[in-house]
Amino acid sequence: MEAALNDIIRQSVAENMAERVGPNLSPYRHFTREEWARLRADTPLTLTIDDLKRLQSINDPISLEEVIAIYLPLSRLLALYVAATQGLFKATQRFLGADDGKVPYIIGVAGSVAVGKSTTARVLQALLSRWPNTPKVELITTDGFLLPNAELEREDLMDRKGFPESYDTNRLLRFLSDVKAGRGHVEAPVYSHLTYDMVPDEAVSVDRPDILIVEGVNVLLPSRLPRDGKETPFVSDFFDFSVYLHADEDQLEKWYVSRFMRLRSTAFRDPRSYFRKYADIPDEDAEATARSIWKRINLRNLHENILPTRARASLVLTKGSSHRIEEVALRKL
């Protein structure tokens, strides 16, 4: 009885607070799909069906209509933001009497496993590279900064892969710092989703792009503050803009399981695949395995680390059951 009474009191307090705060104090402007689509104006469509087929990830359908309604307005907005930032940079250089060269505009793309971050990042890369002031757009994923499996196993972290402690955060911060400083040929490590591990002695080079897109589940997560008073940068400190892809948990689980089952007949059949053992087990066992992995690892990571960062994003794209983006929230300036 006492517990029930406490629940009622807490609910009443929460409702009163919501009434006092009100929706107008939100840091975001909210748009329906139709409202957002009208912001495209005369932005031309520069992608084809064949382009989209190359850009989309497994089990993450995207149509030209989605590009027109969601990504063309977003590319137009980002082109405006980048141009304004480039102008501010030049003005600051004149003020300082400096000549440090250009500094890349960095965009973070965050969200849960299976929400479609990779497709979003690649579509943005393709669209933004077609704007005249940003012809060079590069993309990296934070998977490359995961610790090697051998180290994760040694530290008993394999079931925490994708959690903050499974990354070489210092290496990621050094990489972003060097890119933001305008240094050329900054190297990022490479990750293989086939072997589920780092690729030894292989790297990609990022060489002074106009825009760098950084995609990863935890890119908006604040660092744990030290107790010795030392400064600790966040990964997102290097971002000029950030996008968070959101969907209901039930949909995320459904998409994850569907992707897992589909991979059993494709990538999992490769002898080099880390998940080769799941290719030939019965369907019901494979589905149970996928749901177990989702609940033990990905859902926990979503609750503990990913979802709490949604409010830190510049833009939140909310997906419906068919992968269509149904709502857009843009942070107010």
- DSSP labels, 29-88: EEEEHHHHHGGGTTPPP---HHHHHHHPPTT----HHHIIIIIHHHHHHHHHHHHHHHHH
Chunked into runs of 10 residues, the chain (333 residues) has average pLDDT values of: 41 43 77 98 93 88 95 97 93 88 92 97 97 94 97 96 96 96 95 96 96 97 72 91 98 97 95 96 97 97 97 97 96 94
pLDDT score for 226: 64
Which residue in the block uniquely carries the two structure tokens 């950084």? 214
Hey, what CATH topology would domain 27-331 get? Rossmann fold (3.40.50)
- Cβ proximity of 163 and 299 under 8 Å: no
Domain ranges for the chain, please list them: 27-331
Alpha-carbon distance of 258 to 251, in angstroms, equals 10
> What pLDDT, on the 0 to 100 scale, is given for residue 24?
66
- Measured between alpha carbons, how far is 213 from 206 in angstroms, rounded to an integer? 11
Helix (H, G, I), strand (E, B) or coil at 333: coil
Give the list of residues 6+ apart from residue 246 with CB closer than 8 angstroms, or none.
111, 115, 310, 316, 317, 318, 319
The pLDDT, as a whole number, for residue 210 is 96
Predicted confidence at residue 99, as pLDDT, reads: 79
| CA gap 222, 220 in Å, rounded | 6
pTM score, two decimals? Answer: 0.90
| pLDDT for 168 | 96
